[in-house]
A = this chain, B = another copy of it.
Amino acid sequence: MVGPFGGNTAAVLLHAAQEHPERLGEPVALTVNFAGPVADGDFTVTARPMRTNRSTQHWSIELSQDGVVATTATAVFAVRRDTWAADEAVMPRVPAANEVPATAMPPFIKWADNYEFRWVVGGIPQPPADGEAPVESDDSTTTMWVRDMPPRPLDFAALTGICDSFYPRAFLRRGTALPAGTVTFTVYFHADAEALAGQGSEPVLGTARAKAFGKGYFDQVAEIWGADGRLLATSHQLVYFKA
């Protein structure tokens, strides 16, 4: 939470595959593993198509600095075709984005300046006053309207970053900031490029929660919804923490 933003690293790796001359179709899945910190400075991204089938393509992607691997990733691209379709998950019932005030993250979270957050439930806990105990919660759910700042049209890279823009769920449960960092992060893209473009630069609705915390790790399950009620992406991550 105090280093470089993993969602941005993930977006850079995905984009490397998207821009590769052998790329087939568009992203349907991305998994990024944060193996080590990315330092300020030059980095090299290598995207390799591992296998290309008739309508799917599997990628292996790596980010390294000075010959040391910092991030690994795999991605699945596909040519998507119309089929039977249904959203089974239900969008949370929330006020419209313009009815929810935008709230800044604490200033130590630098990357958050690239987003506008409108928390519906589960905003980031405020530091307890001197001598006060943190206010714990038994529910790790955050639901928020979110968009890039400055606003830009939604695409796969932007949506990838948004999937990782929830502050760590352990902060909410424990009522305080604590050491935490994502070790692996997955996005499933339910929307295709056309559906994403249709979202423009309006806020999207994100909701995230954890299912289990223990022995140094917790998970996060997230959904990102368009303002029009379409499920754009689902995302999962496993996060290291100390508490």
Contacts and interface: CB of A to CB of B under 8 A. Distances in A.
Nearest to A68: B51
Interface of A: 28-29, 31, 33, 35-36, 50-51, 53, 55-56, 58, 60, 62, 68-70, 72-74, 76, 78, 80-89, 138-140, 173-174, 183-184, 186, 188, 190, 192, 209-217, 219, 221, 223, 231, 234, 236, 238, 240-243
Q: Is the interface of A mostly helix, strand, loop or mixed?
A: strand
A231 B105 CA distance: 32
A51 B80 contact: no
A243 B88 contact: no
Contacts of A241: 83
A88 B58 contact: no
Given A68-B51, A74-B31, A219 B234 contact: yes
Contacts of A216: 55, 78, 80-81, 83
Nearest to A241: B83
A31 B32 CA distance: 10
Nearest to A70: B51
Contacts of A183: 28-29, 56, 76, 78
